[in-house]
Structure 1
Amino acid sequence: MTGPSDARQGLLYGGGAYILWGLLPFYLHMLAAVAPVQVLANRILWSLLLLLAIVVATRRGPALLAAARGRVLMLLAASAALIAVNWFVYIWAISNDHLVEASLGYFINPLLNVALGMVLLGERLSRVQAAAVIVAGIGVAILAAGGGGALWVSLVLALSFGFYGLIRKVAHIDALGGLTLETLILTPFALAILVQAERSGSAVLWHDGWLTTLLLLAGPVTAAPLLLFAAGAKRLRYTTMGLLQFIAPTLQFLEAVLVYREPITATQLATFALIWLGCGLYAWSSIQRARAA
């Protein structure tokens, strides 16, 4: 059981992680001139170098190699593919002014996690949780019926990250080791993308000073919130971390509307109202369960 000091540190770490994720669109907007696939490749490559340095510094190499085999390795190959899809679609969405849809995807995600836990892990839902999932589902159905706009962005982000979290939940490896192996699995593809870009003359890395600096920062930009998240998760109740995850999409939505002036249709507003209602029910249910426990 964590004490008050651990809880305070956990809130700082966990809150910091979600705030950084919420501010990520500012960074990606500065890279709008770079093809999303190249941004993804650089994010993978420089994240790997930083993570390997952390693994060496913490002497986690032997444990990581011992875990990287059999079922765990197969699961991490699947989770690596899912996180690559998630990262690419998110980068594309920011570059093409679909931050509203991206934020919607991450509002849907916690409710999707609840549904996946029920269907695939046999977890039991409370009536309030079931109502939250149903309300969110109605919101998505309204958006789809109204034309949907870039609804696929929201659904791909929610589904890819939802199934990614599910796989990481059943893979017996810690956050640092899992992320390191995932990026290692993706690195050959990232290198192939960068080599092809260089050959075709479309490469940005090392050809533009400012953009190269931003691309080199992709490592710490990716790894920092993940490490803060891992530190926060160790010190906080799962319920508290579940509530903190609404920080990121809230910031993203506000940025889309107030900073980047992305248009919002009446159908999208109705959808967000239902999704927010579902999130509110989820949060209330989580708080009630924590008090009961």
Structure 2
Amino acid sequence: MSGAARGVAAMVAACTIWGLSPMYYKMLSHVPAMEVLSHRMIWSLAFFGVVLAAQGRLREVTRSMNTSRSFGLVAVASLMIAANWALFIWSVQTGRTTQTSLGYYIYPLVAVVIGRLVFGERLGAVQWTAVCLATVAVMVLTLGLGTAPWIALILALTFGLYGMIKKQLDVGPVVSVTAEVLLLVPVAGFILLQTYHNTGTVFGEDMRTMALLIFAGPITAVPLILFSFAARRLAMTTIGLLQYINPTLQFACAVFVFSEPFGQWHLVAFVLIWTALAFYSVSALRQDSARRRAVRAAAASGTVL
């Protein structure tokens, strides 16, 4: 199997785990979302620590925060991902997985807008069309349901801001996430202590719940490691397109497994989002093709010279 094929397989596996993760968090509906989040932080750190220790890379975690700027970036990134994880877990537990899938469908378009506003990246007419269609979809849901899809919007925005911050860090995803959860673990410990003193923690009450909570580590770490593996072997366009597997599987879980409500307003909004993503994907493919042609032309020119 070629390197690109292994990259595709890893990316598909990562997105499949992310996309089916609502089924895992649904099994923990009897555990308060903040308690689940705390265990996710703690066991993720343990898992990442073992992986990095085996690779002899633990020192990279402290190096990723060795300046005030890098520490600040990691701290803000940790807040963004904690907010994203907490809202995602709570949404799945309370029957709002349809909105989480919408949020991760919207995210690539939010990232495009952030790229324009923060990094000055230029947007073509097709990309602007995709952004406008996504905006119309949100307006349709707001008017049709009488309330804004705030869960989807917050998930897309926090993940978009998280990606913006990560772009400014000069470390790989595994090391940076380890640093982030390292900063969050004291907060997680405080939450679990408060829970224990106030209502009692569910951890240790039965083996099934305890095993599920510990499994929060691997279910967080493994797809990220797979993603890191794929990112080194695939073009960003390919990665972007394969990432749609995640919200598609979340959507399938919401509608076909959890039987969440899906009315006409949802249908109209999702059709608009899917259309927007089709425009966005076509634009991304064209840009990637143009970039490849430019690289080949430059290489040919260099050979002639």
TM range (shorter): over 0.9
User: Hey, what's the Cα distance between the residues in 1 that align with 2:96 and 2:202?
Assistant: 23
Q: Which moved more, 1:262-271 or 1:209-218?
A: 262-271
RMSD: 1.2
Q: Is contact 1:98–1:150 with CA below 8 Å preserved after alignment? A: no
Paired position in structure 2 for 1:33: 30
Tell me, what secondary structure is at the counterpart of 1:146?
helix
Q: Paired residue for 1:22? A: 19
1:238 to 225, 231, 236: 236
What pairs with 1:98-117 in structure 2 (closer than 5 Å)?
Answer: 98-117=96-115
Aligned to 2:245: 247
1:223 aligns with 2:221: yes
Q: Equivalent residue for 1:178?
A: 176
Percent identical residues: 39
Which residue is 1:49 aligned to? 46
For the residue of structure 2 that corresponds to 1:129, the secondary structure is: helix
Letter of the structure 2 residue corresponding to residue 209 of structure 1: M
Letter in structure 1 aligned against 2:159: F
Instruction: List runs of 5+ in structure 1 lacking aligned partners.
Output: none
Letter in 2 for 1:57: A
In the TM superposition, what whole-angstrom CA distance separates every residue of 1:47-104 from its partner, at most 9, and x where no partner exists? 0011111111111122332221221110010010000000000000000000101100
Task: Report if the CA contact (8 A) 1:47-1:219 is conserved.
Answer: yes
> Deviations along 1:121-170, whole A, 9 cap, x unmatched?
00011211111111111111221223355711101100010100110011
Kept after mapping to 1: 8 A contact 2:41/2:181: yes
Checking the alignment, whether the CA contact within 8 Å between 2:203 and 2:209 is kept in structure 1 is: yes
Query: Which residue of 2 is the match for residue 12 of structure 1?
Result: 9
| Cα distance in 2, alignment partners of residues 211 and 150 from structure 1 | 34
**Matched residues in 1 for 2:199 and 2:132: separation?**
49
Alignment of 1:115-126 (within 5 A): 115-126=113-124
Instruction: State how far apart, in whole Å, the 1-side matches of 2:137 and 2:52 are.
Output: 43
Q: 2:299 is matched with which residue?
A: none
User: Please, what TM-score do these two structures have when normalized by structure 1?
Assistant: 0.96
Gap change, CA 1:120 and 1:278, over 3 Å in 2: same
Q: Is the 1:41–1:191 Cα contact (8 Å) retained in structure 2?
A: yes
Describe the SS at the equivalent of 1:170. coil
TM-score normalized with structure 2 length:
0.92
Q: Deviations over 1:101-120 (max 9, x none)?
A: 11000000001101110111
Contact 2:64 2:176 in 1 (8 A): no
For 1:156, the equivalent position in structure 2 comes to 154
Number of positions where the alignment pairs a residue of Structure 1 with one of Structure 2: 290
Distance in 2, matches of 1:164 and 1:125, equals 21
Once residues 258 and 77 of structure 2 are traced to their aligned partners in structure 1, the CA distance between those partners, rounded to angstroms, is 32
Larger deviation, residues 64-73 vs 131-140: 64-73
Structure 2: gaps (5+ residues): 292-305
Deviations 1:15-51 (A, max 9, x none): 1110110010110111011000000000000000111
Q: In the alignment, does 2:202 pair up with 1:204?
A: yes
Q: Closer, same or farther in 2 for the Cα pair 1:150/1:132, shift >3 Å?
A: closer
